[in-house]
Amino acid sequence: MNDRYSRQILFSPIGKQGQKSIGEKHVLVVGVGALGSSISEMLTRAGVGKLTLIDRDYVETSNLQRQQLFSESDAKDKLPKVIAAKKRLADINREVKIEAIVGEADVQTLENFAPKIDLMIDGTDNFDIRFILNDIAHKFTVPFLFGSCVGSFGSTYTIIPNHTPCLQCLLKNIPMQGQTCDTVGIIAPTVQMVTAYQVAEALKILSGNMDAIRKTYITFDLWENQHLSVKSNDAIKNKACTTCGEERTYPFLSYEAQTKTALLCGRNTVQIRPSQTFSPSIGQLCSRWELAGYQVKQNPYLVSVHKDDVRMIMFKDGRALIHGTNDPVKAKKIYYSFIG
Ligand SMILES: [Zn+2]
Position 205, amino acid: I
State which H helix or E strand residue 133 sits in: helix 127-140
Out of 166, 169, 181, 265, the active site residue is 181
Residue 245 Cα to ligand 1 middle (Å): 6
Rg (CA), the chain: 21
Torsion sign over Cα 114, 119, 122, 127: positive
The pLDDT value recorded for residue 176 is 63
Residue 337 Cα to ligand 1 middle (Å): 45
| pLDDT cut 70: percent of the chain above it | 92
Position 318, amino acid: G
Residue 232 Cα to ligand 1 middle (Å): 12
Report the DSSP pairing between strands 226-231 and 295-298.
Answer: unpaired
Q: pLDDT tens for residues 218-267? A: 999 999 999 999 998 888 899 999 999 999 999 999 866 565 556 666 67
Residue 133 Cα to ligand 1 middle (Å): 13
Distance of CA 14 to the CA centre of its chain: 27
Q: pLDDT tens for residues 51-104? A: 999 999 999 999 999 999 999 999 999 999 999 999 999 999 999 999 999 999
Residue 255 Cα to ligand 1 middle (Å): 20
Residue 5 Cα to ligand 1 middle (Å): 37
8 A C-beta contact, residue 112 and residue 120: no
Position 142, amino acid: V
The pLDDT value recorded for residue 1 is 44
pTM above 0.85, yes or no: yes
Confidence class for position 2, pLDDT limits 50, 70, 90: confident
Residue 207 Cα to ligand 1 middle (Å): 26
**Catalytic: 149?**
no
CA dihedral 311, 316, 317, 319 (to 10 degrees): -10
Residue 238 Cα to ligand 1 middle (Å): 6
Residue 150 Cα to ligand 1 middle (Å): 24
Q: pLDDT tens for residues 191-232? A: 999 999 999 999 999 999 999 999 999 999 999 999 999 998
